[in-house]
Amino acid sequence: MASLPSDFAGQIDAYLDYLASQRRASAHTLTNYRRELRRLVELADPAGPDDITAPRIRAMAGRLHAGGLAPRSVARALSAWRGFFRWRVRLHGAAINPVEGIRPPKAPRPLPKSLGPDAVGQLLDASPDDELEIRDRAMFELLYSSGMRLAEMLSIDLDARLDLAAGEATVTGKRGKTRVVPIGRAAVDALQAWLPVRAQLVPAQERALFVTRTGSRMSQAAVRGRLNRWVQRHGQGAHVHPHMLRHSFASHVLQSSGDLRAVQEMLGHASIQSTQVYTHLDFQHLAKVYDSAHPRARKGK
């Protein structure tokens, strides 16, 4: 068993040499590991590697996070430290790896991006310029009106799953779960404008609700491209993707109704936790209202 340098920095250099010669680590990887391991030496000072325990590793990770290091960056540091101590255990007889089982702090879940009601209105109230834009408007109205996923919308065929008279559609979501989603008046009107155009494009055997110029079923990439084109022509130039219309549906329904369970059912979420993210969006909306309306909240008043 190879002997190790007695000093901490020397052991770090030996480990990096091992990564370069035995593991063929890239220069980029070596640079990152050197930075993170130097950080370890600084945080542990004056202790050496044999003095570092799991509680101490947790404390050092906590210091990094409290100092403003993002959870992902803390995770990267822990990964480098774990590899170093694993090398000491496997090849040099060290007793323990104090980083095993240490988890980084959880990254905050990013809030889904949504559009405000006025922005959605500006986007969808624009008049189509040609037959394909009649289709596009119907697609976007349907996504916003129902909150369905893009894949769910594109799987809809002209059969009993689409009932414009009742204002609803039956879709199959994740894990094959089927649910009924609402279709609002604006979406029904847009679909009724699209159906005669569709009939001129498709062969009799094609059942897809939304088709391309050549009569084949629309792809997700095609919808994204058409939405980007629509936004550039009729919106404010901001980036909008199809899932933002689903997020906007959820946020606006929750703001108006406060019924989290109903929104969960309409979105097809298996867990209420997936839907609860929209309560944060709702709170942001309420906070803005408060800041602009409450006499003791307005700055400079």
For 180-213, what is each residue's pLDDT tens digit? 888 889 999 999 999 999 999 988 788 999 999 9
Of 23, 19, 64, 16, nearest in space to 40 by CA: 64
Determine contact, residues 211/197, Cβ cutoff 8 Å. Answer: no
Q: Which of 174, 185, 233, 298 is catalytic?
A: 174
Quick check: is 179 catalytic? no
Residue 107 lies in a domain: no
Q: Which amino acid is at 265?
A: E
The pLDDT of residue 280 is 55
Q: Which amino acid is at 205?
A: Q
The pLDDT of residue 139 is 96
DSSP string spanning 81-139?
Answer: HHHHHHHHHHHH--S--TTTT--PPPPPPPPPP---HHHHHHHHSSPPSSHHHHHHHHH
Same domain assignment for residues 62 and 156: no
Domain count, the chain: 2
* Whether pLDDT at 301 is above 60: no
* Whether pLDDT at 289 is above 50: no
Quick check: is 56 catalytic? no
Query: Tokens in use for 61?
Result: 């990770």
Same domain assignment for residues 171 and 277: yes
Q: Which of 56, 65, 241, 269 is catalytic?
A: 269
Quick check: is 18 catalytic? no
Mean pLDDT, the chain, as a whole number?
84
Same domain assignment for residues 185 and 280: yes
The pLDDT of residue 223 is 95
**Residues with Cβ < 8 Å from 144, sequence gap 6 or more?**
120, 124, 187, 245, 246, 248, 249
Q: Using 50, 70 and 90 to split pLDDT, how confident is the model at 31?
A: very high
Share of the chain above pLDDT 90, in %: 45
Q: Which domain holds residue 55?
A: 8-92
Q: What is the CA radius of gyration of the chain?
A: 28
Give Cα separations from 286 to 113, 231, 258, 279, 294 (angstroms). 16, 27, 12, 10, 11
Quick check: is 177 catalytic? no
Same domain assignment for residues 53 and 130: no
For 142-181, what is each residue's pLDDT tens digit? 999 888 889 999 999 987 678 898 888 888 887 788 888 8
Q: Which of 226, 246, 247, 252 is catalytic?
A: 246
Q: Which of 92, 161, 179, 243 is catalytic?
A: 243
Q: With the CA atoms of 16, 17, 19 and 21 taken in that order, what torsion angle do they form, in degrees rounded to the nearest 10?
A: 170
The pLDDT of residue 171 is 85
Cα angle 89-93-96, degrees, rounded to a multiple of 5: 45
For 222-266, what is each residue's pLDDT tens digit? 999 999 999 888 866 678 889 888 888 888 887 777 677 777 777
Q: Which of 135, 149, 198, 234 is catalytic?
A: 149
Quick check: is 243 catalytic? yes
Q: Using 50, 70 and 90 to split pLDDT, how confident is the model at 110?
A: low
Residue 216 lies in a domain: yes
Quick check: is 246 catalytic? yes
Query: Tokens in use for 259?
Result: 């019924």
Same domain assignment for residues 169 and 280: yes
Same domain assignment for residues 203 and 165: yes
CATH code of 135's domain: 1.10.443.10
Computed from CA positions of residues 133, 137, 143, 146, in that sequence, does the dihedral angle turn out positive or negative? negative
Same domain assignment for residues 223 and 266: yes
